[in-house]
C-alpha cells in the first residue's frame, strides 16, 4: 500500500508513532523516524529533533531528502506537562514543521495530523483558536494566561486548534495534489494513557465505561497508513474518529439521543 514511498513520522519512538512507523515499513515505505527520544530500535532512519524548538525543527528540515511522499504528525505531549510546552509541541511545532516541509513534499503527498477526541469541542473555542493562528513561541505563556489555558485544557485546546487548522488547509496545496487530514483516537493504551487518567479523573473513568477496551497503537496505525496512501487521495480536510465508538456515543448524548 505504501510501496516505494518516503514518509516522515514524528513521535516514532513509542506508542502510536512507533506502531505507525513499523506498519508503514512493512507496507514497503522508507520511513524517516523523528523523535526527541532515541528509540531502542527504529523503523528506518532515525533523526532526533525537539519539536518545541524551531531551530531544532529547521535543522531537521535541512537533513530531510528533497522528495517526501507523506508526513505523519504524531508526536505530542500529554496534559500533565506544562501548558506552554504542550502548546509549543502539539500545535506550534507541528505547524512549523509541516509548513516548512511543504516545499520538499512530492506532488500528491499526504499530511496526516494525529488529533484526538479531546478536540471535539473546537466550535466553542473560536476566539482562542483564531488568536493562536499567528501565535509566536515567545508569546505562548501570555497567550495561555489570557485564554485560561492551563492543566488539561492545554491538551484539549491544542487538539481543537489542530482540527480546525486541518480543515482550513484542505485545499491549500490543491494545485500540487497535497492533502491534509486528521485522525482522532479515543483513549489509547500508550505510555501517556496514565497521564490522561491522572489529569481527567472522573471524566476519564466515565468515558472509559462507554468503551469495551482502551485502544491499542495497532488500532490507530492502519488508519494513519491508509491516509498516507494513494487510496485516500480524495479525502481532504477530514477528521476521522478512531475510538471504539466513543465519538458516536458523545454525539448522541450531546444531541439528546440514547
User: Cα–Cα distance between 204 and 59 in angstroms, integer?
Assistant: 38
- Which member of 27, 122, 143, 155 is catalytic? 155
- Cβ-proximal residues to 94 (8 Å cutoff; 6+ apart), any chain: 10, 51, 73, 75, 113, 162
Cβ 199 vs Cβ 82: under 8 Å: no
Assess whether 27 carries a catalytic annotation. Answer: no
User: Cα–Cα distance between 156 and 190 in angstroms, integer?
Assistant: 18
Catalytic positions are: 155
Amino acid at each position: 500500500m505504501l510501496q516505494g514511498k518516503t514518509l516522515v513520522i514524528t513521535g516514532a519512538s513509542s506508542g502510536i508513532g512507533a506502531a505507525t512507523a513499523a506498519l508503514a515499513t512493512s507496507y514497503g515505505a522508507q520511513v524517516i523516524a523523528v523523535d526527541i527520544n532515541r528509540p531502542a530500535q527504529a523503523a528506518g532512519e532515525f533523526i532526533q529533533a525537539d519539536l518545541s524548538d524551531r531551530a531544532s525543527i529547521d535543522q531537521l528540515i535541512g537533513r530531510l531528502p528533497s522528495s517526501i511522499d507523506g508526513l505523519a504528525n504524531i508526536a505530542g505531549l500529554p496534559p500533565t506537562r506544562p501548558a506552554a510546552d504542550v502548546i509549543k509541541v502539539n500545535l506550534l511545532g507541528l505547524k512549523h514543521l509541516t509548513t516548512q516541509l511543504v516545499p520538499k513534499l512530492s506532488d500528491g503527498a499526504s499530511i496526516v495530523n494525529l488529533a484526538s477526541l479531546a478536540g471535539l469541542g473546537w466550535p466553542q473555542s473560536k476566539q482562542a483558536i483564531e488568536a493562536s493562528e499567528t501565535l509566536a513561541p515567545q508569546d505562548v505563556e501570555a497567550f495561555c494566561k489570557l485564554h485560561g489555558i492551563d492543566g488539561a485544557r492545554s491538551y484539549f485546546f491544542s487538539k481543537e486548534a489542530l482540527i480546525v487548522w486541518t480543515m482550513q488547509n484542505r485545499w491549500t496545496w490543491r494545485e500540487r495534489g497535497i492533502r491534509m487530514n486528521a485522525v482522532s483516537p479515543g483513549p489509547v493504551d500508550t505510555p501517556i494513557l496514565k497521564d490522561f487518567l491522572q489529569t481527567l479523573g472522573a471524566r476519564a473513568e466515565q468515558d472509559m465505561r462507554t468503551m469495551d477496551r482502551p485502544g491499542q497503537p495497532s488500532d490507530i496505525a492502519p488508519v494513519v497508513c491508509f491516509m498516507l496512501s494513494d487510496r485516500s487521495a480524495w479525502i481532504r480536510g477530514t477528521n476521522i474518529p478512531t475510538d471504539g465508538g466513543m465519538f458516536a456515543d458523545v454525539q448522541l448524548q450531546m444531541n439528546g439521543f440514547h
